[in-house]
Copies of this chain bind each other. A is one copy, B any other.
């Protein structure tokens, strides 16, 4: 349950992510209302999960869990990894951490200011979140917990659909397009490799995929396939560098310091 609350794709992440996307939004109207609205809903999910965890922990220690452990060693093992800080630090309360005790991190939040990139990120986050929730679903047969998860899994279904619909609409209305960001002049990228599948793998089966021939999803190119990395100048390993001698790196002129004496003011 803590993974769904404070994990990388937990409810704290999506709540904060959608709120920051709203605060950083440069586009007024329905899209901004959308990110704020779903962000507010996710705050409610944070609350549901935190309260549910606190209730589950209420009876956990000590006689109760001793009994559970004695009857079912699997439960014993799971509890073993779970409730140390719940007990010592939170006194049988929920915590803003994931299922291994890693504190929730602001680094989980993505809000780039580019809505198409962010909407795809949101859709992907809801997919990871639904995958995790369905896995947790099987770890319990408590009716109350399953009801809560059943509700949340359905909302993840809604949110996956909704972010993909919003991404599609954003493109249809001309605000953004593939490749993201669409405003960057295509002439400034190296178009010769922009639709070329370069096979770096030992296996060659990737050549049979729809990403190796035919039109690209952005409608602006045709996929091609080349076997192995291609030379592009930039990939040639250049010579070694010779940094400032005051950084005391190891160079092929070990007495370089001698030579520059007088030229640099602060040695001797």
**Docked-complex contact B124 and A120, CB < 8 angstroms:** yes
CB distance from A204 to the nearest CB of B (A): 7
State which of B155, B179, B252 has its C-beta within 8 Å of the C-beta of A193.
B155
Residues of B within 8 Å of A268, CB to CB, are 185, 187-188
Q: A26 is contacted by which of B44, B104, B178, B249 (Cβ under 8 Å)?
A: B249
B77 & A234 in contact (Cβ 8 Å cutoff)? no
Determine the chain B residues whose CB is within 8 A of the CB of A194 once the complex forms.
154-155, 157-158
Does A11 sit within 8 A of B, measured CB to CB? no
Residue pair A197, B162 in contact (C-beta under 8 Å): yes
CA distance A12 to B19 in the complex (A): 12
Bound state CA distance, A38 and B209, in angstroms?
13
With a CB–CB cut-off of 8 A, which chain B residues contact A243? Answer: 26, 57-58, 61, 91-92, 113
Which of B51, B131, B209 meets A30, CB within 8 Å?
B209
Given contacts A28-B252, A252-B27, A91 and B247 within 8 Å (CB-CB): yes
B-side contacts of A178, CB under 8 Å: 160-161, 164
Give the contacts of A1-56 with B (CB-CB under 8 A): 3, 6-8, 12, 16, 19-20, 23-34, 36-41, 43-44, 46-48, 50-51, 54-55
B70 touches A251 (CB 8 A): no
- B248, A135: Cβ atoms closer than 8 Å: yes
Q: Which chain B residues lie closer than 8 Å to A208 at the CB level?
A: 30
Contact partners of A188 in chain B: CB under 8 A: 137, 150, 153, 267-268
A-B contact pairs, 26 of them (CB 8 A): A7-B89, A8-B110, A12-B106, A19-B46, A20-B95, A23-B94, A26-B240, A27-B252, A28-B240, A30-B205, A51-B238, A61-B246, A61-B247, A91-B135, A96-B109, A98-B101, A103-B106, A110-B128, A113-B243, A123-B124, A124-B124, A131-B248, A160-B217, A165-B217, A175-B250, A183-B248
